């Protein structure tokens, strides 16, 4: 029997291709997803500018702990929280001062007013965020894959989470910016390992912004230590020097903050340490005084703000492990470990803050870029498996057009859900950003604008004319309201309210009756009326929260803007935009109140 002919060395059509041609083919596939850095920057910038122009203020902390102190530095008066009392010195004036500089720069341009200063600061934040996002996107393309970079852009620009965080005046947003710069430095090894640079940027975010966000640096530093241990003496020495330079940069930044805060508080203070001490070692109750949430709070919140991208982010590490187990890859142990390091910050951050009793949406901001990175890599892995054309596999038997249709519909649906939530939030809660405009025509110097149950919706004194102050009348709220910075000019004459002793401020969230004024002294009042609630059988206004809008004997409407009645609106209509069409069933439609600026009748 004659011998069988030798088995061909090449069994697939692509195997006949010269290796250099194969490399060119892979490069062409990568280039199909590559875009210019300036194009990526413009995409991020447009999304962030939309947020800067239209995003409502999500958290009253942004108003009272950041916009109001900035207003005090720029205009000489503003509301003061206990964190800025020199007795506690929990907040750093360095962070406030940086933003006040940009607000004051707006006065150099024509048609300036306080509202213009407010939005100018927001636009600066949007620009800074876009710059940082572009650098992290570029590092992602270089370290992983341009297709992962494309998905990274999509996960951010169409997400409600980015709409909230990109232009928010919050330390957690600033820490997010610096985390992106730090991650970009750690991820991009082209031109050398940049451990010192990465540590510096994370330190800037921690010292100038939010100290807890510096923990996101941990996986990258551990990576440096791990590879250093298994290196030769020369590389070990270089790694130690990089870590030492990073630590020195932290010390220098802390010293700079110490000098600035000592100037403002007129005593030696390190606000970064004070906030850590309050949150971790407080004897008066700490942040739990301001509410606690169940363990699944962030899972619900991130699902609303990132929809399918959050699910993909959670699946990223399991998918990566499965890919390594069932696919033949030329990836080295070092590159595989690096990918695990890239995926770790999001999981670490989510785990840490899920365990904390006190939870707020803004606490997740520093991890948003890492969520987007995890989701992008997860989608890249799924598409690689889904795109398998081997007819022997189950996936390979699915027609290519059907695969493309499923992927396209899924991504379009994700984008639509994100945009529906963004528009829903803007249309539902933007009233406090527009109701004050008539004050610049009907208000007078020295007038007061008072707040009762809606005190936490006040967007800041930037929306009030010059020399018009915000005041509080008693409502059913029984916690501590902000006081006012002293307007005295003593000592050096520079911002004496930052260091003069305060009265009526405490770190126990205990009500202080000195924060209230008599209703008769209020020239203007802001109140929200909810007609749907008043239709409820047996409804009666709380003693300290009457329906001021309906009290036409004492108040007249200056301006009223629709405002969502969240208590009577079903969940789906609260979570996403639902049109107010007659064809929409009543059980799925939004219910509306009115957010009103009222003027007292004399």
- Lowest-confidence region among 85-89, 218-222, 261-265, 388-392: 388-392
Residue whose C-alpha is closest to residue 466's, from 124, 57, 112, 99: 112
CB 74 within 8 A of CB 105: no
Binned at pLDDT 50, 70 and 90, residue 4 comes out as: very low
Domain-terminating residue out of 427, 447, 473? 427
Alpha carbon 365 to chain centroid distance? 4
The answer to whether the predicted template modeling score (pTM) of the entire model surpasses 0.85 is yes
pLDDT digit string (tens) for 95-134? 999 999 999 999 999 888 999 999 999 999 999 999 999 9
Interatomic CA distance for residues 179 and 251, integer angstroms = 18
Interatomic CA distance for residues 163 and 48, integer angstroms = 7
CB 454 within 8 A of CB 528: yes
The whole-number pLDDT of residue 8 equals 37
Residues 393 and 477 both lie in one domain: no
CB within 8 A of 518, min separation 6: which ones?
473
Residues 129 and 150 both lie in one domain: yes
Q: Taking residues 155-170, what's their average pLDDT?
A: 97
Looking at the chain, the whole-number percentage of residues with pLDDT higher than 90 is 74
Q: Residue count of the chain, please give it.
A: 602
Residues 103 and 203 both lie in one domain: yes
Residues 436 and 498 both lie in one domain: yes
Transcribe 535-592 into DSSP letters.
TSTT----TT---TTT-TTTEEEEEEEEEE-GGGS-HHHHHS-----TTS-GGGS--E
Residue 173 in domain? yes
Residues 165 and 264 both lie in one domain: yes
Residue 467 in domain? yes
Residues 420 and 436 both lie in one domain: no
Structure-token pair, residue 75: 């205009």
Residue 343 in domain? yes
Structure-token pair, residue 556: 């007249």
Q: Is the pLDDT of residue 12 over 80?
A: no
Residues 420 and 485 both lie in one domain: no
The whole-number pLDDT of residue 570 equals 93
Residue 301 in domain? yes
Looking at the chain, the whole-number percentage of residues with pLDDT higher than 70 is 91
Domain-terminating residue out of 393, 410, 427? 427
Residue 471 in domain? yes
The whole-number pLDDT of residue 533 equals 85
Tokens 């060119």 sit on residue: 24
Mode of pairing for the β-strands spanning 448-451 and 524-529 = parallel
- Lowest-confidence region among 12-26, 52-66, 439-453, 560-574: 12-26
CB within 8 A of 107, min separation 6: which ones?
117
Residue 4 in domain? no
Q: Is the pLDDT of residue 1 over 50?
A: no
Q: Taking residues 59-72, what's their average pLDDT?
A: 97
pLDDT digit string (tens) for 371-407? 999 999 999 999 888 777 666 667 776 777 887 888 8
Mode of pairing for the β-strands spanning 555-564 and 524-529 = unpaired
Q: Is the pLDDT of residue 18 over 70?
A: no
Mean model confidence pLDDT for the chain: 90
Residue 95 in domain? yes
The whole-number pLDDT of residue 335 equals 78
Residues 418 and 469 both lie in one domain: no
Residues 372 and 309 both lie in one domain: yes
Q: Taking residues 288-312, what's their average pLDDT?
A: 95
The whole-number pLDDT of residue 189 equals 87
Residues 464 and 411 both lie in one domain: no
Residue whose C-alpha is closest to residue 71's, from 460, 539, 439, 442: 460
The number of distinct structural domains making up the chain is: 2
Structure-token pair, residue 29: 């596939």
Residue whose C-alpha is closest to residue 374's, from 339, 409, 408, 406: 339
Residues 355 and 464 both lie in one domain: no
Binned at pLDDT 50, 70 and 90, residue 534 comes out as: confident
Residue 17 in domain? no
Q: Which helix (H) or strand (E) holds 79?
A: strand 79-80
Interatomic CA distance for residues 240 and 480, integer angstroms = 48
Q: Which domain holds residue 305?
A: 33-427
Residues 390 and 441 both lie in one domain: no
Domain-terminating residue out of 407, 427, 447? 427
């Amino acid at each position: 029997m004659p011998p069988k002919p030798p088995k061909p060395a090449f069994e697939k059509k692509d195997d006949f291709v010269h290796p250099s041609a194969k490399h060119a083919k892979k490069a062409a596939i990568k280039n199909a997803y590559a875009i210019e850095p300036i194009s990526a920057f413009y995409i991020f910038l447009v999304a962030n500018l939309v947020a800067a122009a239209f995003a409502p203020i999500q958290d009253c902390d942004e108003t009272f702990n950041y916009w109001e102190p900035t207003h005090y530095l720029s205009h000489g008066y503003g509301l003061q929280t206990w964190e800025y009392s020199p007795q506690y010195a929990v907040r750093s004036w360095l962070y406030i001062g940086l933003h006040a500089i940009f607000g004051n720069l707006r006065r150099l341009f024509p048609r300036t007013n306080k509202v213009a200063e407010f939005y100018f600061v927001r636009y600066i934040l949007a620009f800074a965020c876009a710059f940082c996002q572009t650098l992290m996107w570029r590092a992602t393309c270089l370290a992983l894959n341009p297709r992962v970079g494309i998905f990274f852009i999509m996960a951010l620009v169409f997400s409600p989470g980015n709409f909230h965080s990109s232009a928010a005046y919050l330390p957690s947003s600033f820490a997010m910016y610096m985390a992106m710069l730090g991650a970009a430095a750690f991820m991009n090894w082209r031109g050398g390992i940049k451990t010192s640079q990465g540590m510096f940027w994370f330190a800037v975010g921690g010292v100038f912004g939010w100290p807890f966000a510096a923990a996101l640096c941990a996986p990258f530093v551990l990576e440096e230590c791990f590879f250093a241990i298994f290196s030769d003496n020369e590389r070990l020495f270089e790694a130690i020097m990089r870590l030492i330079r990073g630590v020195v940069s932290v010390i220098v930044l802390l010293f700079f903050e110490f000098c600035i805060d000592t100037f403002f508080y007129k005593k030696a203070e390190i606000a970064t340490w004070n906030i850590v001490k309050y949150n971790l070692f407080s004897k008066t109750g700490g942040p739990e005084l301001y509410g606690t949430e169940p363990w699944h709070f962030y899972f619900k919140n991130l699902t609303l703000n990132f929809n399918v991208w959050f699910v993909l982010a959670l699946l990223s590490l399991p998918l990566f492990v499965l890919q390594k187990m069932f696919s033949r890859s030329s990836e080295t142990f070092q590159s595989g470990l690096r990918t695990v390091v890239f995926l770790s910050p999001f999981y670490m951050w989510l785990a840490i803050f899920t365990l904390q009793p006190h939870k707020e949406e803004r606490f997740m901001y520093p991890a948003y870029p890492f969520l987007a990175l995890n989701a992008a890599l997860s989608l890249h892995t799924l598409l690689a498996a889904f795109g398998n054309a081997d007819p022997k596999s189950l996936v390979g038997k699915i027609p290519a057009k059907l695969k493309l249709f499923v992927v396209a519909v899924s991504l379009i649906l994700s984008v639509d859900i994100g945009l529906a939530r963004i528009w829903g939030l803007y249309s539902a809660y933007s009233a406090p950003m527009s109701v004050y405009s008539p004050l610049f025509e009907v208000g007078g110097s020295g007038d007061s604008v008072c707040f009762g149950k809606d005190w936490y919706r006040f967007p800041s004194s930037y929306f009030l004319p010059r020399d018009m102050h915000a005041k509080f009348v008693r409502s059913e709220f029984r916690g501590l309201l902000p006081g006012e910075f002293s307007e005295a000019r003593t000592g050096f004459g520079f911002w004496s309210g930052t260091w003069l002793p305060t009265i009526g401020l405490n770190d126990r969230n205990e009500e202080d009756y000195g924060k209230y004024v008599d209703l008769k002294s209020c020239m203007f009042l802001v109140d929200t009326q909810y007609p749907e609630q008043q239709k409820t059988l047996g409804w009666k206004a709380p003693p300290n929260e009457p329906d001021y809008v309906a009290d036409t004997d004492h108040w007249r409407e200056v301006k009223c803007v629709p405002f969502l009645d969240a208590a009577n609106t079903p969940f789906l209509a609260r979570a996403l935009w639902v049109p107010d069409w007659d064809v929409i069933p009543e059980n799925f439609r939004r219910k509306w109140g009115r957010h009103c600026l009222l003027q007292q009748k004399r």
